[in-house]
Structure 1
Amino acid sequence: LGMQASILLLMLFVLGFWLLMNFGAKKFDRYLLPVYPVLDLGAGLAYVAAAGWIWQRRSLQARGRGQLAFLALIIGLQASLALPHYPYCLTYYNPLLGDVQAVINVMQIGRGEGANLAAQYLNAQATIDNRSAPTAASAFPNGPFSYFYAGRTVPPTFWTLADYAVVYAQDFQRRMPSPRQIAWFERLTPMTQIDLHGIEYARIYDLSAAPLPTFVTTWAQGETPQIRLNAYELTAGTVHPGESIRTTFYLENLAPIADDLNVLVRLVGADGSEIARAEGWPWGAPTSDWPVNEIRPDGHTLPIPEGTAPGLYRLEIGFYEPASQATLPAIQSSTDEQLPDLVPLDFIQVGDLPTAPAVALEPPY
């Protein structure tokens, strides 16, 4: 094959791979990594062809200077795009995407860039606040934040153990670990934020004076609170009939529990009809053996039945005594308000909604 035919085949591979990746539900930029070596090879062949064209059309004396000038131009162009973003090279985005807001709308922002700056800020802040080895909640508890942070790092779902929280751009974009926890952070005033090249990469919060989020709930058999829901994780995006949602509740034991209680998790429609449920010992262990102040991640998988009508379905959680089947009363920790025994926690969209709302809907929490 000639050079032109080879380049054409390479570009056909790139186009075909790009089209196939567009059929998937997830479209992370890293999924396109296999095309970059091919594009680099194609660009290299194009540079060689351009240098050859210069060679053929220049005098013998000017050929060397022309090729050196062309090489310097290519290196200078590449350097002018990459060097301004050092040492956070992944903060570069193709200018053809548009302005900063267009990048945020189209791309998932952040792979840990600037996490070291957040750690440096908190290291200095801990000295100012006279806090000894403070704990920070971060989505990178073992990664680009914890490597630079002098204190202890925990995941965002263990925020009750933390003095500070570092919330990254991708956490806001993906509403992780849960929509309600992100909505809570959005209502707080950050201590500072980390900006790189005009894009906000992280916000830092002081949790010591932060009000409790409304999803924090306690249950008790008597007057003393025994179980507290501190946080939860929920499948992001739309699920379809035949698929399953995965949710994890981060439960803390506040006081000894004499009985082995069951947790009940279910999905219900607007009319109260139940489409899925899971129940049993939280964390698969008897609550009577649950050490006080220990936080346990209690995970559940809820299959969506085939034929489920499209719509929003409510996620509910509660506790009950297996012997009597009596449900435990639930209290909202931030207000001491009594909640339904099965607490409405969040919503899941099943299928495509029949009609799109005419106006943007406010979060249901």
Structure 2
Amino acid sequence: MKLHEYQAKELLARYGVLTPRGRMVEAPRDARRLAEELGAERFAVKAQIPAGGRGQSGGVALVTSPQAAATATQQLLGRRLVTNQTGSAGYAVDKVLVEEALEPSATLYLSLLIDTATASIVILAGPEGSGDIEERVRSGEAHVERLETGAGGEVPRKDIEALAERLGLSRDLQSAFTTLVGQLRTALIELDATLIEINPLAVTTTGELVALDAKMILDDNALFRHPDLNALRDDEDDDKIEMGAQDHQLNYVRLDGDIGIAVNGAGLGLATLDMVHAANGRPANFMDIRTTATSLDVAHGFAMLLENPSVRSILVNVHGGGMQPCDIIADGLGIAMRRTGRSCPTIVRLAGNNAEYARFRFKNFGCKVIDCPDMWTAVSRAVDAAQSAGARQ
């Protein structure tokens, strides 16, 4: 789950991370009042969307008066901001962050993330922060230091200080940098975050390190431990269809193909997607039915496939286990077809617990399915059905 900048800063402030004075507003008059309260010489007015690249796309304005802050807020609110990280659709701006604009003596880059290959917490740091840091690193114009700190436990202070020294920081700043890294690492672990990025990290004239911008991504799978963080979810950032699937015990990801896929097991699902691609087919989704799903949950999933106008055939590849027999899958498909009133070529491969009973349930529901004895036959029939349906359109 991607957080807005103002949300990330509010969370990091709990851990002692310094941020500019300011807060989120949703109306121009509130922006003016806040700027008057701050009493600064300059203000930063920032569109709040869950993506970077705002500065290069007109999503950040630097102004010198409360009225100018109000004007900039009015110009941003309601705008659909497209950046190099949003895709062509962009995000609608319905809130902005108004804060004091600082004049740093230098800027740094700092991020902590989870390396999924090693389960290690990795620190990335660079001697210069900028909005185009990724491009500059790729082109060789900028360099980022990397330090792996393991999956848990304390990180030797000398390792962080050595990293700070490689960044060219003075002795006093090395101490402040080490403290900040410790704060961010604690936040990363306690909040179940997968990324915390400070870019730019300002070095003030008084020797403080201040997060001018902050990005944070939380692990969706750990949100059950953080009901307060779950409330921070942005509906536009999260695909409503995918989030609805989560509520029905389904792991669902939309793709751009024409073959709706339903499996029970992530590994089986990935193997099915690979086989569809090998048969020159195009999956319309990944849908893994969890063992805790009921027939009504399964019906919700099949309804998503049937209501997707791009789906020209459905491939059901399930292996009944102790907690998820095949007949629950069959009941779900039958209920979905009755609810939606739509059917399309449906190819099934059933094995395991209650496979034969599931075939009986298909007949009871009147589901005209194509029953296949093995995965490759089922995949081939599903691809042929989708291509034939496409040729007729």
Could you state the TM-score of these two structures normalised by the residue count of structure 2?
0.22
Which protein, 1 or 2, shows the higher relative CO under an 8 Å CA cutoff with sep ≥ 6?
A: 2
Question: Which of 1 and 2 has greater Rg?
Answer: 1
Q: Which has the higher helix share?
A: 2
Could you state the TM-score of these two structures normalised by the residue count of structure 1?
0.24
